[in-house]
Homo-oligomer: A and B are copies of this chain.
Amino acid sequence: MDFPFDLISDEEYERQRTLHEPLTQAVRELIDAGIRTDLDEAGVREARAAIEAVTERLRSVQRSQTSTLRHADTGRPLAWANPAVGVRNAIAPPMDIKHEDTGRCWAEFELGVAYEGPPGLVHGGICALVLDHILGEAASDGLTKPLFTGTITLRYLRGTPLGRLRAEAFVERSEGIKTYARGYLGDTDGWSVEADGVFIRPAWARES
């Protein structure tokens, strides 16, 4: 047993990515503009009506495909909708995660005002989102193995400034159904948050 999935060719993947990445990026800019705007009431109402019209148009044709798509070549899931890495999810920064041969993962990405907690700093919960995701990627070998987070501990060493950031993660060890991963988030001044996670292979995936 596994999650349902369909394979997608490299060509179709690139076609969809090229089409949807700029749309998602436009929505990210809109999120930012919505936070910062001081437009008058009539202007805000017009903006809202225009957005609702776009939403209606996008919804006029919906994906029937709701199962996970996997690369025909690599077996890696596409995670279009994922709130950390999804190229079709405007909530995602998105993290573009690189997998090294050693199993270590890393990503460099930009977090703007939409991810702010204390003034000028990334919200602690967004640091947790980013680290939970990259530890999970390392533990599951790029999401190719079914694994759930069991426990994760985050240590905040200092505030994480908004702007360009880097996250890394790697597997420390595996014991039976448990995989122990560790990771870091920070900027050019060094790490600002450390994370340790225990990831667990679910019961239904232990037979195979």
Point out residues on A near B: beta carbons under 8 Å: 3-4, 19-20, 22-24, 26-27, 29-31, 33-41, 43-44, 46-48, 50-55, 57-65, 67-68, 80-84, 86, 88-91, 113-119, 123-126, 128-133, 136, 148-156, 159
Contact = CB atoms under 8 A, between A and B. Distances in A.
A46 B37 contact: no
A84 B123 contact: yes
A30 B51 contact: yes
A47 B52 CA distance: 11
A27 B4 CA distance: 30
Given A27-B30, A118-B3, A47 B58 contact: yes
A153 B156 contact: no
Given A119-B3, A123-B129, A37 B24 contact: no
B33 A90 contact: no
A58 B83 contact: no
Tally of this chain's copies: 2
Contacts of A54: 30, 33, 47, 50-51, 54
A140 B151 CA distance: 25
Contacts of A149: 124, 154, 156
Nearest to A29: B55
A85 to B, nearest CB: 10
A134 B63 CA distance: 35
Give 6 closest A-B pairs by Cβ, nearest first: A125-B129, A125-B132, A128-B128, A33-B58, A37-B58, A124-B149
A89 B35 contact: yes
B24 A44 contact: no
A50 to B, nearest CB: 5
A94 to B, nearest CB: 12
B154 A151 contact: yes
A114 B28 CA distance: 13
